[in-house]
Amino acid sequence: MSFFRRANALFFIFIVNISLSSCSSRDTPAPVTNIHSTSVLTEHNRNSIQSSQYFVKKGETLYSIAWRSNSDVRKIAQLNNISAPYNIYPGQKLFLTEHKVKRTAKASKNKAQHKKQTKSSTVSRKNRTKNSLASTKKQAYGENVNSKKSRQNSVLTADKSTSNFSQKISRWQWPVKGKVVEYFSNSTQGNKGIDIVGRRGTKIRSSAQGKVVYAGDALRGYGKLIIIKHNDDYLSAYAHNDRILVKEKQQINRGDVISTMGDTDANKVMLHFEIRFRGKSVNPLNYLPKNQ
């Protein structure tokens, strides 16, 4: 009898251990899987430029480079002595920030000679006649009348040619109707625009009048991208398109169809929409109407 009692006791202990082990395993949480790890592309993933200089690649424009470096295109153009319409070529070296030119011994020598010549010319100018002094009062030193008139004419021409881009944007419109799933963020790695989901092939429209300054797929993370210049201060961008229906340098009006919605370089069909003011990202919802 004692043998059977001992056997029953051991069997009971075995059953209790199994039950406790089962309960313990059920209380252990399952491994966590981040299903959103690739849902949002940060500015770093969108191949932003962080360096102080850059070599132009095929298919890029000065506007697309300014976009990636979060800079004003006019600033980059000024740093590199590039005039409108800002033509660049593959392999060209661009400075994206202020740079200092190294002074050589020869440059220092030339500077010393220049100071000496300046001193001599200053002494000689004191010996000028009264007539020459009178003439300088009527006419700015180092400038002739013809060059002054020509410069005034060139300024008037430039103002006339750029008048279309100096006007204030009267009204913005939504590029497409749909649910906003990602909002603007001011953080360094945050979303620099808004993401609107929809169906593939849905028409995307320009938010305001302007000129297409980039249309292509050379910017990683944006897919097929369109950048529109609205005036000297504002740009807008439309990313992840399925089809691009406009060309660079094309003039467009607010509401014109420019592309169709897609998922190029994205994990779902959507439009990534941005607005830049003087090269800096701003919240599109501060400009778009409250109602779509």
Q: Kindly report which listed range (33-37, 209-213, 235-239, 262-266) carries the lowest average pLDDT score.
A: 33-37
67, pLDDT greater than 50: yes
Band of residue 169 on the pLDDT scale cut at 50, 70, 90: confident
Q: Where are the domains of the chain?
A: 179-286
Beta carbons of 259 and 241 less than 8 angstroms apart:
yes
22, pLDDT greater than 80: no
Give the CATH number of domain 179-286. Answer: 2.70.70.10
Q: In terms of pTM, does the model score above 0.75?
A: no
Mean model confidence pLDDT for the chain: 75
Label residue 287 exposed, middle or buried (CB < 10 Å: 0-12, 13-18, 19+): middle
Band of residue 161 on the pLDDT scale cut at 50, 70, 90: very low
pLDDT of 36 reads 33
For 117-132, the pLDDT digits (tens) are: 555 555 455 555 444 4
Please provide residue 27's backbone torsions phi and psi, each rounded to the nearest 5 degrees.
Answer: -80, -15
Residue whose C-alpha is closest to residue 176's, from 144, 145, 152, 199: 199
25, pLDDT greater than 60: no
Beta carbons of 231 and 211 less than 8 angstroms apart:
no
For 226-237, the pLDDT digits (tens) are: 999 999 999 999
Beta carbons of 98 and 79 less than 8 angstroms apart:
yes
33, pLDDT greater than 90: no
Give Cα separations from 38 to 45, 175, 188 (angstroms).
10, 25, 18
For 127-152, the pLDDT digits (tens) are: 554 444 444 443 333 334 344 444 44
For 68-80, the pLDDT digits (tens) are: 888 888 889 999 9
Give Cα separations from 106 to 103, 110, 112 (angstroms).
8, 6, 10
- 3-state SS of the chain is CHHHHHHHHHHHHHHHHHHHHHHHHHHCCCCCCCCCCCCCCCCCCCCCCCCCEEECCCCCCHHHHHHHCCCCHHHHHHHCCCCCCCCCCCCCEEECCCCCCCCCHHHHHHHHHHHHHHHHHHHHHCCCCHHHHHHHHHCCCCCCHHHHHHHHHHHHHHHHHCHHHCCCCCCCCCCCCCEEEECCCCCCCCCCCEEEECCCCCEEECCCCEEEEEEECCCCCCCEEEEEECCCCEEEEEEEEEEECCCCCCEECCCCEEEEEECCCCCCCEEEEEEEECCEEECHHHCCCCCC
157, pLDDT greater than 60: no
171, pLDDT greater than 60: yes
Of these ranges, 103-112, 145-154, 165-174, the one predicted with the greatest mean pLDDT is 165-174
Q: Which amino acid is at 255?
A: G
For 188-224, the pLDDT digits (tens) are: 889 999 999 999 999 999 999 999 999 999 888 999 9
